[in-house]
Structure 1
Amino acid sequence: SEVLFANSDACTCIMVPAELGEGGNVFMGQTWDWLAKARSNSVILKVEQEGRPEILMVCEAGLVGGKGLNSEGLGVCLNAASVGKGKIGMPLHLMMRNILNSSLPTEALKAVSAVPRAGSGVFNIASRSNYEMQVEFSPDAFDVIMSKGEALVHTNHYLSALIAPKDVAKSFISSTYTRLNGVQRQLSKMKGPIGMKGLFRLLSDHELYPESVCYHEDPRQSGERYCTVYAMVMDVTSGILWISAGYPCEGKISEYRL
């Protein structure tokens, strides 16, 4: 991923704090846009480990870290981002596993801030203690944007003034701006608490198709085609994960619980 994220496609992440979540719960979700053939090797793992939290995560088969949640009430999602360089350090999948091995949001943050990082990206970290953080990182820097009670949205460009000047992915993933703005506008119009159904509705949006939040294969592309491999939503408070079998707009949703 440290190599491929310099040329990857577009994911959209949303975090909903307890103030806005159904039942006062914390929710988060994302689309995972990647090579279409990745659907055949995506797996859901339930990890039981002595002395550490139980984990429910989604990843490509063979990886030790992925997007998911744990029994301590922590969840993590991922956005691709790039500053166009890397160095010897910890790959992002190992950082994700260490986030899910954590018991507190502060420990999860240290899993990113306190290690030499090989590449770039954005971890969206939420907790049932109602701390929501967008942790943007590169090999040389990191920054944290936290919710003050509002929903947070992240796509594929850096929001932090610390790292944004070195962003290279924004120049060729132009939909990063329209997806961010579109989801933020829709969130502002939503009435009542937001839960699983509301998040899947946002992640199924087709505005500016095919370069929409729910990203279908573009017949204009040559070679390997990208698309929304799946969308996932998590109730971090209750330890529930929902995932679509393919495009979220098709409504084929499965539920998994810790």
Structure 2
Amino acid sequence: MAVDPFPFVSVSGTPFERGRQYGATVPSRIRRSIELYGDQLAKLGYDEADKSRLINEFAREIEAFGPHYLEEMRGIAAGAGVAFEDIVMINARTEVVAKARLEKNMPEDAELEDGCTGAVILPERSASGTLIHGQNWDWKAECAETAIVLRVVREDGPDILTFVEAGGLARCGMNAAGVCITANYLESERDFLQAGVPLAIIRRKVLEQGHFAFAVRAVATTPKACSNNMMISTVGGFAIDFECAPDEAFPLYPDNGLIVHANHWVSPVALGKLKDTGLTSVPESVYRDWRVRKLLDEAGEKLSAGDLKNAFFDDFLSPHAVCRPPRPSMSGNLSATVAMVIMDPAAGTMEVAPLPALNRNFTRYGMTGDPAPVALAAE
């Protein structure tokens, strides 16, 4: 399994020009992303016509939300020499694959395991006095061969640094205004009862904002097709977690200077109004967030980025752990913690380790300059 650092792509110009630069830089990784999700649809029995119908439903939602996102996707397709429709599929892959399963009446235990454990350390708990925001991303182990770190130099807003699957516009990340976002899979019985903007595009919208208030608005008020947890923070010293149903967002505030979240609903208000249907796929979620918070609290009152890394490396009850080694998932796919991402918005840097259960080497990516290896994985 590959443990090389994730490729770094830096782009600038108009949306189409940025996309074309992006696609031309990592065409093989983009094609691998297309293969992963295209094969999934093919295995579900989707022919080209059905695939186009499904993808174009979400393309229309994206266009209504912001036509420039489709322009950037057209540029990516042109640069990589692939179909535009396939780039839309990558950017709406959560919705496309899940809706395809629903249309084919797939049972709940066939769902793919899209995990993730995220955390924010507020300045009052930080040894450096600055906010730290991070995440373990659990998904297909093959995505260690498709993910990249993308820097978008913009003329119409703050520059963006995002860890993302190749071909995508954003996943987790930060911007030059000090806004950060990570996200975690959630499910409820409200999913796919309405149209909505793909989650990846909402995350990109957050990273385009020059002020944290508008990042909050993008998360809390944008209609979604399915549930998701989005944790956002600001270099100014605040963070909030939104457990999002398609039509409603439930805020969770910091507790003792920390926010920690995995893949189950926590808000008492949310649990009084909807049903958590995701534990079939990620039953270990109930102790992953507990473990991260426990380890952080045991590390002391003042915490470093190294303390957050150590908590995310936790192997309690492995392989169903905070840090997941590659293993067959319930649906038979190879699942793993694909990456650990640690963001320091005050420094404008993001440290990323691929497959952290197998590898503790981080690379530091920045809003400026070139990537560099980090001397030590943990402090």
Query: What are the ranges of 5 or more consecutive residues in structure 1 without an aligned counterpart?
Result: none
Instruction: Among all aligned residue pairs of Structure 1 and Structure 2, give the percentage whose two residues are the same amino acid.
Output: 26
Structure 1 position 145, deviation (Å) = 1.1
In structure 1, what is the equivalent of residue 252 of structure 2? 145
Contact 1:91 1:118 in 2 (8 A): yes
Q: SS of the residue aligned with 1:22?
A: coil
- Distance in 1, matches of 2:352 and 2:363, equals 5
Contact 1:11 1:156 in 2 (8 A): yes
Contact 2:148 2:166 in 1 (8 A): yes
- Distance in 2, matches of 1:130 and 1:60, equals 29
In structure 1, what is the equivalent of residue 124 of structure 2? 19
1:64 aligned residue (146, 149, 169)? 169
- Distance in 2, matches of 1:245 and 1:33, equals 11
Query: What are the ranges of 5 or more consecutive residues in structure 2 without an aligned counterpart?
Result: 1-93, 99-110, 368-379
Structure 1 position 169, deviation (Å) = 0.4
In structure 1, what is the equivalent of residue 37 of structure 2? none
Whether 1:40 aligns to 2:133 is no
Contact 2:112 2:329 in 1 (8 A): no
Q: Which amino acid aligns with 1:58?
A: F
Q: Which amino acid aligns with 2:266?
A: L
Worse-matched range after superposition: 186-195 or 59-68: 186-195
Structure 1 position 220, deviation (Å) = 7.9
Cα 1:210–1:248 shift into 2, 3 Å: closer
- Distance in 2, matches of 1:54 and 1:154, equals 27
Q: Which has the larger radius of gyration?
A: 2
- Distance in 2, matches of 1:46 and 1:129, equals 22
**Which structure has greater helix proportion?**
2
In structure 1, what is the equivalent of residue 303 of structure 2? 194
Structure 1 position 155, deviation (Å) = 0.2
1:239 aligned residue (328, 343, 348)? 348
Contact 2:220 2:242 in 1 (8 A): no
Contact 1:231 1:248 in 2 (8 A): no
1:119 aligned residue (213, 226, 248)? 226
1:49 aligned residue (140, 154, 174)? 154
**Which structure has greater strand proportion?**
1
Give deviations 1:61-107, integer Å, cap 9, x for gaps.
11112210000011001111111422211111111011101122211
Q: SS of the residue aligned with 1:243?
A: strand
Cα 1:229–1:220 shift into 2, 3 Å: closer
Q: Which amino acid aligns with 2:147?
A: S
Q: Which amino acid aligns with 1:62?
A: G
Structure 1 position 241, deviation (Å) = 0.2
Relative contact order higher in (CA < 8 Å, ≥ 6 apart): 1
Contact 1:7 1:169 in 2 (8 A): no
TM, length-normalised to structure 2: 0.65
Pairwise mapping of residues 176-255 of structure 1 onto structure 2 (< 5 A)? 176-218=285-327, 223-247=332-356, 250-255=359-364
In structure 2, what is the equivalent of residue 105 of structure 1? 212
- Distance in 2, matches of 1:175 and 1:107, equals 33
TM, length-normalised to structure 1: 0.94
Cα 1:116–1:242 shift into 2, 3 Å: same
